[in-house]
Amino acid sequence: MINIIPTGEEFAHAQPIAEMLAHNPTFRSWFIAKTRFVADADCQSMHEQIERERHHPPFWWRHNHHVSCGCEGCVGGRETDIFNIFFRNPKDKFALHIEVKHLGDTLKENQAKRYKQRASCWAANKPNRIPQHHRAGTVLLYSAAKHTKLEPLFTHFHNRLTFEEIWAVFPRILDATQAIRKLQSGGR
């Protein structure tokens, strides 16, 4: 159970997607089929191991960072909005680094261009408390209304997907986002 709901639209957008990727095999396969790992869409989630290795943070999927690495992707302890590792073959684990951009958020080139660098860095040289993985991909998850604004930055991500595409197929994810907003505003 969640006792304290973090504030903010980023959390309201990200939490249902992170949880469904972990717990709902239909959504997981659908989502991963939209990425470079389409051939492995029918896969397992390693969220339990991530949660254990990270010593059970309130939300295992967020606030991952690698402070001990000075590479361009990691320097300054940069964070990935949603992080998880999956596998179809246990000898070929793949990570997704997902950047979440809701309507009211902005993405700077300086932030976007570090995503692929960080994903490659972690696959080659994993941070403490992150399970070993062999490959990595980056996904920009964004509001359709921001398409024109974000278009110049698409090249910095392997794949992209809008919230609207997700909600059209999985309306319960939008319901969950709305339920979180209600909790965030104290049930009003």
Q: Which residues bind Zn ion (CB under 5 A)?
A: 69, 71, 73-74, 121
CB of 64 to Zn ion, least distance (A): 12
Secondary structure of residue 156 in the 3-state scheme: helix
Give whichever of 41 and 71 is closer to Zn ion, judged by the CB atom: 71
Distance CA 22, CA 5 (A): 19
Give whichever of 28 and 54 is closer to Zn ion, judged by the CB atom: 54
Give whichever of 14 and 74 is closer to Zn ion, judged by the CB atom: 74
Cβ neighbourhood burial of 83 (10 Å; 0-12, 13-18, 19+): buried
Give whichever of 88 and 126 is closer to Zn ion, judged by the CB atom: 126
Nearest CA among 24, 39, 17 for reference residue 87: 39
CB of 44 to Zn ion, least distance (A): 26
Secondary structure of residue 118 in the 3-state scheme: helix
Give whichever of 85 and 166 is closer to Zn ion, judged by the CB atom: 85
Distance CA 188, CA 175 (A): 16
Give whichever of 70 and 187 is closer to Zn ion, judged by the CB atom: 70
Alpha helices by DSSP H, 38-151: 47-53, 109-112, 114-124, 147-150
From residue 144, give the alpha-carbon distance in Å to each of 6, 92, 97, 130, 167.
24, 33, 20, 32, 11
Six token digits for residue 45: 């989630």
Structural contact between residues 43 and 28, judged by C-beta atoms closer than 8 angstroms:
yes
In one letter, which amino acid is 161? L
CB of 46 to Zn ion, least distance (A): 20
CB of 66 to Zn ion, least distance (A): 6
CB of 129 to Zn ion, least distance (A): 15
CB of 163 to Zn ion, least distance (A): 29
